[in-house]
Amino acid sequence: MEVVKFERQLRLMEQLTQNRSLSLNELAAGMGVTCRTVYRYLETFKQAGFVVQREGGMYRLDPSSPFFKRVSRDIRFSEAEARTIAQVLHSVRDNTSQIRRLREKLAFLTDPTALAGHDVDERVAQHIDRLFQAMREERICVLRNYSSPSGKDTRDRIVEPFQFLSGNSEVRCYEPASGTNKTFKVVRAADVELLDLLWANKANHLPVHTDLFHFSGERRTRVRLLLGQLAASLLLEEFPLAEREMTCQKDGRWLLDTRVCSYKGIGRFVLGLFDDVEVVGSPVFRRYLRDCCNTLSGKWGAPGDAVGK
């Protein structure tokens, strides 16, 4: 969890030091997190001594911040230190272009030939930059020579991009030609071209959400659970992000108030710890759980049935 948080803070710092100012929404979209998370990281930067400039809702890190001065004047990585940092970055389960470039830069400190053969990363990074600009300016763009998963269909796709997914490796777009929302792999486009045309279908944009249990979808449903200590501990061990949606109750239990894209993930959790979990409200979810129990009874038989019949 700490490695993921550190990696996000590095990515935010990278965005804020590119000689441009960005809004909270733009920063959040570029990182795939909420505006609240970005604001919390900005406050952390301030506490650490960075000068966070804000003008008209736009943010940037002042290059005259004491930290940057100390880094440029004093910091020197030894080969052993560079290798250690590289190992930490390689342990992060993230293969976005930003993280790959950080890995490459560290590798270059110890091996000047390490950057050979990485031209594809720079191409993808350029695609991401243009898509991000299209989102910020609400412009239509063309995914040139976009290839299908099978590779048999390669053609231009005119789209309205509005959301990055999977660590910026995918982009959610509305395609006017088909009248549907689709998810495209950034790497499958030969090029990304911005057009001088603004979105015309913003009301039809349906972003994809991913819930705590790693299920994704366009719609989310609210579910509330009261968890005992065992259930709460196991939930946090497997899904650390659940902490921000949990509040401690007077009786010592924890209330999980979350929105899910599918009942499958949260349903498995509840059924596995049914004696330590109470569903609060959520009649549709209760019905789903009853159906699951009935299905299991049908598969395994009612209590008291003879084995093998």
Q: In which residue are the tokens 């550190």 written?
A: 6
The pTM for the full model equals 0.47
Query: What are the distances in angstroms from CA 222 to CA 78, 249, 256, 280?
Result: 51, 19, 10, 11
Beta strand segments in the chain, E:
22-23, 52-55, 58-61, 139-147, 154-165, 170-175, 180-185, 191-198, 209-210, 216-217, 221-227, 246-248, 254-260, 277-280
Pick the more confident residue, 31 or 274: 274
User: Out of 1.10.3720.10, 3.40.50.1370, 3.90.550.10, 2.30.30.100, which CATH number does the structure's domain 120-204 have?
Assistant: 2.30.30.100
Distance, CA of 260 to CA of 219 (rounded, Å): 8
CATH topology of domain 2-110: Arc Repressor Mutant, subunit A (1.10.10)
The tens digit of pLDDT for each residue in 116-137 reads 444 446 788 888 889 989 998 9
Q: What is the pLDDT of residues 246-283, one digit of tens each?
A: 999 999 999 999 999 899 999 999 999 999 999 998 89
Q: Which residues in the chain are classed under CATH 2.30.30.100? A: 120-204
For CATH 1.10.10.10, list the domain ranges present in the chain: 2-110
Burial 221-242 (b: 16+ CB within 10 A, else e): bebebbbbeebbeebbeebeeb
